[in-house]
Amino acid sequence: MTPPSGRLAIFPGSFDPLTNGHVDITLRCAHLFERIIVAVLVNAEKKALFSADERVQIVREVFKEYPNIEVDTFDGLLVDYARKRRASAIVRGLRAVSDFEYEFQMALMNRHLEPTLETVFMMPAEQYTYLSSRLIKEVFMLGGDVRGLVPSAVEHWLRKKQAVKA
Ligand code: PNS
């Protein structure tokens, strides 16, 4: 078997929506790996505010100036997608101890499914450790200020969603 292409990492997630914490992790990864794929989960069952197409559009817009950051979608098992893309690592952000149990379970299950694929955990900048997509949606929809917590493209898209709902 040919070895996986060197230093391609996948950063998978729902990204509903992308936060500055996700951006921070992606940019940190871009220094460590030759190429990064931000892989947006297409999951029809999970109730998302943004469609997969919208999430991809947003992420593409945010990283358009980074030639080594690709944006793609995936469904099914992450390890199957990683094999298909010949990635050597999965990157996940760890914000707080509360993330650890779920992330640990996923990492070990993924390792069970594909032992050659490593999971790398990265910590975002401190000011983003309390951020989550779920909280951003809640705060924004209830009229709170999310400036500085999400890229401006996300603010723009959130306002569009709000206008549709109004
Ligand atoms: O941003 P999220 O929602 O925390 O990301 C979770 C994600 C997309 C990484 C996880 O749900 C996933 O990998 N889903 C794909 C299905 C899969 O491979 N499940 C087994 C994981 S051990």
133 lines ligand 1 (CB under 6 A): no
Pocket flag, ligand 1, residue 93 (CB < 6 Å): no
* pLDDT value of position 115: 97
Catalytic residue among 31, 46, 47, 147: 46
pLDDT (0 to 100) of residue 1: 46
Query: pTM for the full model?
Result: 0.94
Q: What is the pLDDT of residue 6?
A: 57
Residue nearest to atom 21 of ligand 1 (CA): 106
Given 35, 92, 133, 137, the catalytic residue:
133
Nearest atom in ligand 1 to 109's CA? 22
Single out the catalytic residue among 35, 55, 92, 95: 95
| Predicted confidence pLDDT, tens digits, the chain (166 residues) | 444 445 899 999 999 999 999 999 999 999 999 999 999 999 866 689 999 999 999 999 999 999 999 999 999 999 999 999 999 999 999 998 889 999 999 999 999 999 999 999 999 999 999 999 999 999 999 999 999 999 999 999 999 988 887 7
pLDDT at residue 128 in the model: 96
Ligand 1, atom 16: closest residue by C-alpha: 77
How many angstroms separate the CA atoms of 157 and 59, rounded? 12
